[in-house]
Amino acid sequence: MSDLFSKFDPLIQQRQALLDTGVTDPFGLVMERVISPTVAVCSGRETILLGTYNYMGMTFDPDVIAAGKQALDDFGAGTTGSRVLNGTYAGHRAVEEALKDFYAMDHAMVFSTGYQANLGIISTIAGKGDYIVLDIDSHASIWDGCKMGDAEVVPFKHNDIEAMEKRLKRIPEGAGKLVVLEGVYSMLGDIAPLKEMIRVAKENGAMVLVDEAHSMGFIGPNGRGVAEDQGCLDDVDFVIGTFSKSVGTVGGFCVSNHPKFEILRLVCRPYVFTASLPPSVVATAATSIRKLMHGEAKRAHLWENSRTLHKGLRDLGFKLGTPEPQSAIIAVIMPDLERGAGMWEALLNEGLYVNLARPPATPAGMTLLRCSLCAEHSAEQVQTIIGMFERAGKAVGII
């Protein structure tokens, strides 16, 4: 019998070699207690959180929590059913209404995760003989949506408008075309030139899907994302988003103005063949989304935090993923995995949690320490964080 696990041996060995150097396992961290959106207790120690996607700090919002508790009391712990059978409660409709209001769009469809939203929408709308043209740095859920469907998949170089245009022009006459882009790319925290890209996509007869997972609630005048910020949201056919970041709970969605959109509820398998979100989750999501519509002050503070941290780290001599802050994600580029893991651990010992990201999740084989800011980080916390980076960076020999 050949062991089906032998294909994982190189990874098992690489992981063992890293742990043998004595560093704490970066993928074994447990949050023992969560004190606020920005502070948790890890290994008995109070730690500042700088590696969550809790951009708007909604996880502990009192109205959000109250809505969740009420829904638990009124509707129970779970739906035990698919959206198309017994799994659509008043709360699921209410959160879809909240999304339609938030984006000012005609249709909203809620999935159990953002991963499933991409999986479902992409694999269902692009079928045999159609072409999906997508950025090479797309999120795993986009790639998996492509893999699950029957369309021809054509990637282009990250954010390269000309490369995208060339590929669109070579697609055979009459074939259906879907261009898939993201507003913010979560590894380096850079944004896409959506206005130009969407113009080119439309000129070439393509429909456009934009994943705004990392921009919702924060970027754009109404927090609708990068497309809104660049004034091209009206030309986006499908926006994909998640409740697991700014909204502060779990779930995914697609909003659209397509007149036939509702048919997807019957044909989209990752929507049909899984249980719907628990009532408490959709209640927290709906409350949070409605509050995010009025989040101007929080958005302004989050931008301030992003600018301060970016400048602070750059001035210390760290190499960053973007020349200027473009989102709430600031990626610090590490020279290699060993020193990246060392730096990650040194920061944890300082009392700071950041994300260690490594291939294959990262582009160009990079090891990154990804910092994601929260609107609830105080200006003082950001200064503390910069001090921690300075001490850890010197101790590990990166700056």
Partner 1 sequence: MDRAETAARIAELIDPFNKKGIEITDNTSFAGDLEWDSLTVMDFVAAIEDEFDIIISMNQQAEIETYGQLVDAVIKLQG
Ligand X SMILES: Cc1ncc(COP(=O)(O)O)c(C=O)c1O
Q: Report the interface residues with partner 1, using CB under 8 A.
A: 131, 136, 146, 152-157, 163, 166-167, 170-171, 364-365
For ligand X, which is the closer residue by CB, 118 or 288? 118
State how far the Cα of 326 lies from the Cα of 133, in Å rounded to an integer: 24
Residue 217 interacts with ligand X (CB under 6 A)? Answer: no
115 binds ligand X per the rule CB under 6 A? yes
Question: Do 243 and 253 meet the contact criterion of CB atoms below 8 Å apart?
Answer: yes
- Which part of the chain contacts ligand X (CB under 6 A), choosing from 111-119, 269-277, 302-310, 386-394? 111-119
Phi, psi of 298 (to 5 degrees): -65, -40
Q: From partner 1, ligand X, none, which one binds at residue 154 (CB under 5 to 8 Å depending on kind)? A: partner 1
Residue 1: both structure tokens together: 């019998």
Residue 207 interacting partner from partner 1, ligand X, none (CB closer than 5 to 8 Å by kind)? none
Q: Supply 122's token pair.
A: 């992409």
- Residue nearer to partner 1 on the CB measure, 7 or 170: 170
Q: Which is nearer to ligand X, 250 or 316 (CB)?
A: 250
Q: How far apart are CA 156 and CA 176, in angstroms?
A: 18
Q: Which of the choices ligand X, partner 1, none does residue 211 contact, using the CB cut-off of 5 to 8 A by kind? A: ligand X
- Which of 26, 37, 51, 114 forms a contact with ligand X (CB under 6 A)? 114
Is 113 a binding residue for ligand X by CB under 6 A? The answer is yes
Sheet holding 352-353, edge to edge: 31-36, 39-42, 45-49, 352-353
> Which has the closest alpha carbon to 226: 264, 192, 275?
192
Instruction: Determine the interface stretch with ligand X among 71-79, 127-135, 209-217, 340-348 (rule: CB under 6 A).
Output: 209-217
Whether residue 265 contacts residue 111, with contact meaning beta carbons closer than 8 Å, is answered with no
Q: Are strands 190-191 and 367-372 parallel, antiparallel or unpaired?
A: unpaired
Question: Between residues 52 and 159, which has the closer beta carbon with respect to partner 1?
Answer: 159
- Residue 213 Cβ, how far from ligand X at the closest point, in Å? 4
Rule CB under 6 A: which of 180-199 touch ligand X? 182, 186
Q: 272, 121 in Cβ contact below 8 A?
A: no
Q: Which stretch binds ligand X (CB under 6 A): 5-13, 114-122, 351-359, 363-371?
A: 114-122
Provide the CB-side half-sphere exposure for 102 (13 A, CA): 31
Does 318 engage in binding with ligand X (CB under 6 A)? no
Binding flag, residue 211, ligand X (CB under 6 A): yes
Partner whose footprint covers residue 338, from ligand X, partner 1, none (CB < 5 to 8 Å by kind): none
d(Cα 53, Cα 35) in Å, to the nearest integer? 16
Under the binding rule (CB under 6 A), the answer on residue 61 touching ligand X is no
Number of residues that bind ligand X (CB under 6 A): 14
Burial class of 260 by CB neighbour count within 10 A (0 to 12, 13 to 18, 19+):
exposed
Residue 182's binding partner among ligand X, partner 1, none (Cβ under 5 to 8 angstroms by kind) is ligand X
Q: Of 66-74, 75-83, 210-218, 371-379, which segment contacts ligand X by CB under 6 A?
A: 210-218
Shortest CA distance to 228 belongs to which of 289, 183, 285, 295? 183
In angstroms, the CA 70 to CA 219 distance is 31
Q: Report phi then psi at 355, rounded to 5.
A: -90, 130
Going by C-beta distance under 8 Å and a sequence separation of 6 or more, which residues neighbour residue 187? 137, 321, 331, 357, 361, 362, 363, 366, 368, 370
227-266 residues in contact with ligand X (CB under 6 A) are 242, 244, 252
By CB under 6 A, name the one of 47, 79, 118, 327 that touches ligand X.
Answer: 118
Exposure of 195 by Cβ count < 10 A (0-12 exposed, 13-18 middle, 19+ buried)?
middle
One of 38, 59, 88, 141 touching ligand X (CB under 6 A): 141
The residue type found at 361 is: A
**Is residue 370 within the footprint of ligand X (CB under 6 A)?**
no
Which of ligand X, partner 1, none has residue 153 at its interface (CB below 5 to 8 Å by kind)?
A: partner 1
User: Minimum Å distance from CB 269 to partner 1?
Assistant: 20
Our CB check for ligand X shows the closer of 142 and 382 to be 142
Is the CB of 308 or the CB of 355 nearer to ligand X?
A: 355
Q: Write out the residues near ligand X by the rule CB under 6 A.
A: 113-115, 118, 139, 141, 182, 186, 211, 213-214, 242, 244, 252
